[in-house]
Amino acid sequence: MGRRLCLNGCEMTFYDKISDTNITLFYDLPETEDRIKYQNEQVVREGNKIKSVLGETRQKYGLKILTGFKKGNFENAAGQPISSDKNDKEYDPNWKKLITDNASDIIEMLAVTVFEVPLTRMAKAENPT
């Protein structure tokens, strides 16, 4: 399967050690302009000092591209499943805030994977002779 050259409709599955389950996130690919902003916003100058704001940048841009999650991947405080799908009876309009407040690590991992390490190098194939 090739890489989709469109900005929306992507999904990625992570293994979540905290819940011991797989979590599938739906997201939009960032445009080139947002990729550049992401890199440029990782540090800020405060007077004569350079300050890392990598965590804040990951949160900001991870939330920006996050469009939803697979039903059943998250529950509210009462243990009831929530949905990010507006057409679902378990839809919670505050789903992004719930994830931000309670699972920010997931947002950061999405940002890291999409913005920082979308590609990995393959080892050179050995000569089969």
Residue 85 included in any domain: yes
What sign does the CA torsion over 111, 38, 53, 28 have?
negative
Residue 3 included in any domain: no
Residue 108 included in any domain: yes
The per-residue pLDDT for range 67-88, each reduced to its tens digit, is 999 999 999 989 999 999 999 9
Question: Is 128's pLDDT higher than 60?
Answer: no
Residue 2 included in any domain: no
Burial 3-39 (b: 16+ CB within 10 A, else e): eeeeeeebeeebeeeeeeeebebbbbbbeeebbebbe
Residue 105 included in any domain: yes
Range of the domain at 108: 10-116
Residue 34 included in any domain: yes
**Structurally, how many domains does the chain consist of?**
1
The per-residue pLDDT for range 94-110, each reduced to its tens digit, is 999 999 999 999 999 99
Residue 69 included in any domain: yes
The per-residue pLDDT for range 43-53, each reduced to its tens digit, is 999 999 999 99
Residue 1 included in any domain: no
Beta strands 43-46; 21-27: pairing state? unpaired
Q: How far apart are CA 18 and CA 101, in angstroms?
A: 15
